């Protein structure tokens, strides 16, 4: 009896909501306000592919009414195009526009999409280069290894030194890790928000980034502590590697899309910069392991967890990625990084409590500052 009442209590308001919506749509009390105003429309380009057939653009539309892309201008000229799927596009749906346009290597191309209502939405390809094809998968993967695996593995080589340094260096390494993660948190969030701004406005990218980051943080914290209490040692190292891995996925996306958008003229220097920048990440991952004796497969696993996402990111970034999906991945990364900051911080404070010292000891403060400084300093190498 009570269950039936509960169900009724849930269903009734839902039905009423539907009823109100239907009534509102039927009566349309706002008609006198909106009159014959044209619908609101939005067209955003999410991806482009340049090859021997011309230019293909993935567009996503938004609007109060279905959007029909009537004509396409390339560099101020109406050009033939084929739309897949054809016809009107509903709110937030996407389609490929294939334009047999003779694009010019290394030059800029401008697009305007004229909808049925005469609105013009613009898009620019800053530097036209052929979209890497599957033949380049190997080379791009190699770039990913250089940016992801190599620096993390190199950073892990500091492990013996950290062990030799004893408890003082352990605390310092943890503090260093916090500084490093703090930098990554800011960086990841910033990148996620930038991507969100590029996504179709109807998706409310910025709100999504904040909410997903918060949810990921809470969720990962809960999963990490499901056995009760704070985590340390191997579990903490794994968490750090996961957070850094998600961040490196974002870096990979950025590098991959740089190849795809022609910004990769900075290639070698850029890749080297990222490599140096990411060495610190290796130190951060192994810091919680200083008081344990892990076997070498553990290191390999952690390096893979933190570094391989860069390879995936580069592949996705250069072939197939939409800003909102990338923003989503980076938001999860930001949440994960915040979680490990909390955990590493907790570990550091527990240690100082057992040793009877302040958590804000000189090595700890120095470690945090140094972590941020090193990350910022090496980031200068990859500034465009």
Partner 1 sequence: MRFPFGQPVTRRLLLGGSALLGGVQVVRLALGAASAQPHGLGHGAVPAVSRQSVAPSAAHVAHGGMMTVGEVDAARNGFDPHTILTSWDTGEVIWDGKGHLCREFVVEASDKDVEIAPGIIFPAWTYNGRIPGPTIRAMEGEQVRIIFRNRGSHPHSMHFHGIHSARMDGVPGAGDVLPGGEFVYEFEAKPFGCHLYHCHTVPLKRHIHKGLYGTFIVDPDPARHPEHEAAARSRLLGTPENRGWQEFVMVMNGFDTNFDDENEVYAVNTVAHAYSRRPIVIDRARPVRVYLVNVTEFDPLNSLHLHGNFFDYYDSGTTLTPTLKTVDIITQCQGQRGILEFTFKDHEPGHYMFHAHQSEFVELGWMSMFDVRGEIA
Can you say whether the dihedral through the CA atoms of 90, 94, 98, 102 is positive or negative? Answer: positive
- Report CA 259 to chain centroid distance, whole Å: 17
What minimum distance in Å lies between the beta carbon of 158 and partner 1?
21
- Report CA 320 to chain centroid distance, whole Å: 14
Cα separation, 238 vs 60, in Å, equals 37
What minimum distance in Å lies between the beta carbon of 165 and partner 1?
28
CB 68 within 8 A of CB 115: yes
Collapsing DSSP states into helix, strand and coil, what is residue 235? helix
What minimum distance in Å lies between the beta carbon of 361 and partner 1?
29
* Cβ distance to partner 1 smaller for residue 231 or 255: 255
* Cβ distance to partner 1 smaller for residue 238 or 280: 280
| Dihedrals phi, psi of 86, to nearest 5 degrees | -80, 170
What minimum distance in Å lies between the beta carbon of 112 and partner 1?
8
What minimum distance in Å lies between the beta carbon of 383 and partner 1?
7
* Cβ distance to partner 1 smaller for residue 195 or 241: 195
What minimum distance in Å lies between the beta carbon of 264 and partner 1?
5
* Cβ distance to partner 1 smaller for residue 141 or 165: 141
- Report CA 140 to chain centroid distance, whole Å: 19
Collapsing DSSP states into helix, strand and coil, what is residue 128? coil
What minimum distance in Å lies between the beta carbon of 344 and partner 1?
21
What minimum distance in Å lies between the beta carbon of 348 and partner 1?
25
CB 185 within 8 A of CB 338: yes
What minimum distance in Å lies between the beta carbon of 116 and partner 1?
6
Cα separation, 300 vs 312, in Å, equals 18
DSSP secondary-structure letter at 135? Answer: G
* Cβ distance to partner 1 smaller for residue 10 or 265: 265
* Cβ distance to partner 1 smaller for residue 81 or 172: 81
* Cβ distance to partner 1 smaller for residue 79 or 359: 79
| Dihedrals phi, psi of 74, to nearest 5 degrees | -115, 125
What minimum distance in Å lies between the beta carbon of 224 and partner 1?
26
Spatial CB neighbours of 224, under 8 Å, sequence gap ≥ 6: 231, 235, 239, 339, 343
Spatial CB neighbours of 300, under 8 Å, sequence gap ≥ 6: none
* Cβ distance to partner 1 smaller for residue 171 or 179: 179
* Cis peptide bond prior to 203, omega within 30° of 0: no
* Cis peptide bond prior to 85, omega within 30° of 0: yes
CB 31 within 8 A of CB 70: no
* Cβ distance to partner 1 smaller for residue 259 or 299: 259
Total H helices, total E strands in the chain: 12, 8
* Cβ distance to partner 1 smaller for residue 58 or 127: 127
CB 200 within 8 A of CB 42: yes
Can you say whether the dihedral through the CA atoms of 129, 132, 138, 142 is positive or negative? Answer: positive
């Amino acid at each position: 009896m009570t269950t039936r009442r509960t169900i009724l209590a849930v269903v009734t308001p839902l039905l009423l909501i539907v009823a109100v919506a239907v009534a509102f749509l039927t009566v349309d009390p706002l008609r006198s306000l909106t009159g014959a105003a044209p619908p609101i429309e939005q067209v955003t380009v999410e991806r482009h592919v340049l090859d021997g057939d011309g230019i293909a653009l993935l567009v996503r539309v938004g609007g109060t009414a279905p959007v029909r892309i009537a004509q396409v201008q390339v560099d101020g000229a109406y050009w033939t195009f084929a739309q897949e799927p054809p016809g009107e596009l509903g709110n937030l749906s996407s389609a490929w526009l294939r334009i047999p346009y003779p694009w010019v290597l290394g030059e800029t191309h401008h697009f305007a999409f004229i909808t049925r209502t005469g609105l013009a939405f613009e898009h620019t390809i800053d530097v036209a280069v052929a979209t890497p094809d599957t033949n380049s998968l190997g080379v791009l993967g190699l770039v990913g290894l250089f940016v992801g695996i190599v620096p993390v593995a190199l950073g892990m080589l500091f492990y013996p030194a950290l062990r030799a340094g004893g408890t003082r260096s352990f605390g310092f390494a943890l503090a260093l890790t916090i500084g490093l993660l703090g930098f990554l948190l800011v960086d990841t969030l910033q990148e996620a928000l930038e991507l969100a701004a590029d996504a179709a406005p109807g998706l409310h990218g910025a709100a999504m980034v904040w909410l997903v980051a918060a949810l990921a943080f809470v969720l990962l914290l809960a999963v990490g502590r499901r056995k009760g209490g704070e985590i340390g040692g191997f579990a903490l190292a794994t968490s750090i590697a996961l957070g850094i891995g998600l961040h490196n996925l974002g870096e990979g996306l950025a590098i991959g899309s740089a190849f795809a958008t022609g910004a990769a003229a900075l290639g070698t220097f850029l890749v080297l910069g990222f490599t140096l920048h990411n060495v610190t990440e290796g130190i951060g991952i192994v810091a919680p392991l200083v008081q344990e004796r892990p076997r070498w497969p553990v290191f390999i696993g952690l390096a893979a967890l933190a570094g391989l996402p860069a390879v995936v990111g580069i592949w996705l970034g250069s072939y197939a990625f939409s800003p909102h999906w990338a923003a989503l991945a980076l938001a999860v990364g930001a949440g994960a990084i915040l979680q490990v900051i909390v955990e590493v911080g907790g570990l550091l404070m527990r240690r100082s409590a057992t040793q009877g010292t302040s958590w804000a000891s000189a090595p700890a403060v120095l470690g945090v500052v140094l972590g941020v400084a090193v990350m910022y300093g090496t980031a200068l190498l990859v500034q465009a």
